[in-house]
Amino acid sequence: MAMQEAGRDTDTFDFGSALENYLTPDFGEIEVGSIVKGEVVRVGDDNVLVDVSFKSEGQIPTSEFLDSAGNVTVKVGDKIDVYVDRKDESEGTVILSFEKAKRMQVFDQLEDVQENNKTISGRITRRIKGGYTVDIGGVEAFLPGSHVDLRPVPDMDALVNQDFEFRVLKINRRRSNVIVSRRVLLEEERDSKRKALLETLEEGQIVTGKAKNITEYGVFVDLGGLDGLLHITDMSWKRIRHPKEMVTLGMDLTLKVLSFDREHCKVSLGLKQLVPDPWENIAARFPVGTKVHGKVSNLVDYGAFVELEPGVEGLVHISEISWTRKLRHPSQLVHTGEEVEVVILGVDAEKKRISLGMKQVHPNPWELVAEKYPEGTILEGTIKNITEFGMFIGIEDGIDGLIHVSDISWTKKIRHPSEFYKVGDTVQAKVLTVDQNNEKFTLGIKQLVEDPWAHVPDTYPVGCTIKGIVTNITDFGIFVEVEEGVEGLVHVSELGLGKKGKTPSELFKDGQEIEAKVIHVSAEERRLGLSLKQVHNRAEEKGKEYHAGPAEAGTMNLGELLKRATMEAEPAEDDKN
């Protein structure tokens, strides 16, 4: 009986306790906002039931367990951490969240990373204004654009969907704000490498690096924590116009340290210094006067650069390209990439300069012309060009002779050669000068005939009386043609017609024949001075003699009068002289 009572007491205690626990569920250990352990007991289409070791299972939307492909990531029996979202004591239910539990755990991890200066992995998911969004275990963090890299990123879209390590800068759990940085880690890594590099770096050392930036004047190379400059002049022994001809961004390079400023952390690098200098013994390989072949590598306004061998270039100055053509630019005769033959004119090994000539490959045509056409030679040629100052006549290929306008005619006043000639006409001329040094070839047409002024002093001596035709009337006098091509001037002071206030144009007209006395003549100056006044005065004297008084006339017989008239008709002795 005692045993029965004991059993009754035991049974009464167990059932009572169970009933009490069922009617008044104990949620004392479950706090809203906390994370607890749970076991998945059922997976449904809409909800997942999780047993958190209490009398009622908690519900979590199935959508919180779906992966990117839409598959459920949990199964019955899985142990998971859940977040107590809210509880209902009257219903005896609890609402749980799997995603919030994960977020809280990630925030706990982020706080630990921040406090202990650790790093955490994340994936850049998209670009936003001012930077990127980074997924860190389901938590979206903000990566400012200035904290992406040590230098501005050329293509910011290229970083999307890539994983990186980050340092946590700031956390606001209440607002779910997280700011991360990648640049901080890169700076620490750079400083660490720089410190190690500075301890070992020295001039003449061979180093490796990666091209990180390319400019017009060179390439900046990352040596591992320290940037060095590879200047364009140290990239190759041959001439290059831009570093991109040899280097691309991100290329691995082996270089030589040319100089190192430890105090300012400046490093100058060289690429061409890794191979022998092609300018060594250059004078022996390219002696002056030898003919060599090369390729035109570059054209500039003042000449053409010709590559004689890799790393060795010479300059053909524009004046050394052609004997006969006056070039405005070398491209008129040569082109980049063209194979040419040149002559070595000079070598300066110290300044790494070679002077070349193209025209020297062939004989100087001016030397041939000087031998073929000595001064005085009469030749024929075609008019190639006519200008105000003369005509250019084709002599040899590339060589023209000039007939100056003053050498066309002895007598005609030619304002422009086109008045008498046109391009394409064939003319005969005499060689006047051949100036080989100045490359000038002058010709003359009028020199083919005798200068009519050469005989003027003998034909028209001072004191003789001549007849001529008025050809031009001016305020200062009249011009009189005494023969074809020879004109004389009667200055207004030598008109002497005694009519006051009259101008030459009032007294004379073109084509009028007059008689005048020669008072000045010069073949060199081509000047013939005439006088009407002296002819007029002499005529008056003769008139007076012929009209003498009765006493004088009466004393002369007829024979004396005829004799005197005959003597007066002859030129006076003074006039002849």
| Residue pLDDT, tens place only, 221-245 | 988 878 899 999 999 888 788 999 9
Question: Where is average pLDDT lowest: 185-199, 318-332, 378-392?
Answer: 185-199
Give residue 32's pLDDT.
Answer: 67
Confidence of residue 300 (pLDDT cuts 50, 70, 90): very high
Residue 304 CA: distances (Å) to CA of 320, 357, 503: 10, 10, 68
Helices (H) and strands (E) in the chain, counts: 11, 30
Amino acid code (one letter) for 54:
F
Helix residue spans in 52-200 (DSSP H): 98-115, 183-200
Architecture of the domain defined by 284-361 = Beta Barrel (2.40)
Give residue 54's pLDDT.
Answer: 60
Q: Which of 13-17, 256-260, 553-557, 568-572 has the highest mean pLDDT?
A: 256-260
CATH number for 201-274 (one of 2.40.50.140, 2.40.340.10, 1.20.210.10, 1.10.533.10): it is 2.40.50.140
CA 357 – CA 314 distance, rounded (Å): 9
Query: Dihedrals φ, ψ of 524, to 5°?
Result: -65, -45
What 3-state class would DSSP assign to 521? Answer: strand
CA 389 – CA 406 distance, rounded (Å): 8
Give residue 269's pLDDT.
Answer: 94
Give residue 542's pLDDT.
Answer: 58
Per CATH, 31-118 and 201-274 having the same topology is answered yes
Q: Is the pLDDT of residue 320 over 70?
A: yes
CATH number for 452-545 (one of 2.102.10.10, 3.40.640.10, 2.60.40.2380, 2.40.50.140): it is 2.40.50.140
Cβ 288 vs Cβ 281: under 8 Å = no
H/E stretch holding 9 reads helix 2-23
What 3-state class would DSSP assign to 415? Answer: coil
CA 23 – CA 15 distance, rounded (Å): 12
Indicate left, alpha or beta for 460 from its phi (over 0: left) and psi (-120 to 50: alpha). Answer: beta
Give residue 7's pLDDT.
Answer: 42
H/E stretch holding 553 reads helix 550-554
| Residue pLDDT, tens place only, 245-254 | 999 988 999 9
CA 192 – CA 169 distance, rounded (Å): 21
Tally of CB atoms within 10 A around 30: 17
Give residue 94's pLDDT.
Answer: 74
Q: Which of 132-136, 262-266, 322-326 has the highest mean pLDDT?
A: 132-136
Residue 525 CA: distances (Å) to CA of 377, 456, 457, 520: 27, 11, 11, 11
Confidence of residue 117 (pLDDT cuts 50, 70, 90): confident
Helix residue spans in 84-159 (DSSP H): 98-115
| Residue pLDDT, tens place only, 396-447 | 777 888 999 888 888 777 889 988 899 988 898 999 888 877 778 899 988 8
Q: Which of 166-180, 375-389, 405-419 has the highest mean pLDDT?
A: 375-389
Indicate the fold that domain 365-448 takes in CATH: OB fold (Dihydrolipoamide Acetyltransferase, E2P) (2.40.50)
| Residue pLDDT, tens place only, 481-526 | 888 778 899 998 888 765 556 788 888 888 889 889 999 998 888 8
What 3-state class would DSSP assign to 435? Answer: strand
Domain extents in the chain:
31-118, 201-274, 284-361, 365-448, 452-545
Percentage of residues in the chain having pLDDT higher than 90: 23
Average pLDDT on 12-18 reads 44
Give residue 345's pLDDT.
Answer: 94
Q: Is the pLDDT of residue 259 over 80?
A: yes
CA 67 – CA 295 distance, rounded (Å): 65
Percentage of residues in the chain having pLDDT higher than 70: 84
CA 516 – CA 494 distance, rounded (Å): 10
Indicate the fold that domain 31-118 takes in CATH: OB fold (Dihydrolipoamide Acetyltransferase, E2P) (2.40.50)
Q: Is the pLDDT of residue 343 over 90?
A: yes
According to DSSP, residue 559 is labeled H
Q: Which residue has the tokens 């009622």?
A: 56
Amino acid code (one letter) for 398:
G
Average pLDDT on 297-301 reads 91
Q: Which residue has the tokens 């704000």?
A: 177
What's the chain's average pLDDT?
Answer: 80
Q: Is the pLDDT of residue 536 over 90?
A: no
Radius of gyration of the chain measured on its C-alpha atoms: 58
CA 139 – CA 224 distance, rounded (Å): 33
What 3-state class would DSSP assign to 111? Answer: helix
Confidence of residue 18 (pLDDT cuts 50, 70, 90): very low
Encoded tokens for 90: 């009257």
**What does the chain come to in residues?**
577
pTM of the model: 0.43
According to DSSP, residue 203 is labeled T
Strand blocks (E) in 271-365: 291-300, 303-309, 312-317, 339-348, 353-357
According to DSSP, residue 549 is labeled -
DSSP sequence for 353-410: EEEEESGGGS--HHHHHHHHS-TT-EEEEEEEEEETTEEEEEEETTEEEEEEGGGS-S
Confidence of residue 56 (pLDDT cuts 50, 70, 90): low
| Residue pLDDT, tens place only, 327-336 | 899 999 999 9
CA 308 – CA 186 distance, rounded (Å): 47
H/E stretch holding 86 reads strand 79-88
Cβ 148 vs Cβ 160: under 8 Å = no
According to DSSP, residue 169 is labeled E
Q: Is the pLDDT of residue 12 over 80?
A: no
Label residues 118-147 b or e (16+ Cβ within 10 Å = b): ebbebebeeeeeebbbbebeebebbbeeeb
Question: Where is average pLDDT lowest: 44-58, 73-87, 156-170, 547-561?
Answer: 547-561
Average pLDDT on 368-386 reads 86
Q: Is the pLDDT of residue 454 over 90?
A: no
Largest Cα–Cα separation, the chain: 224
Give residue 66's pLDDT.
Answer: 75
Average pLDDT on 345-367 reads 89
CA 221 – CA 126 distance, rounded (Å): 30
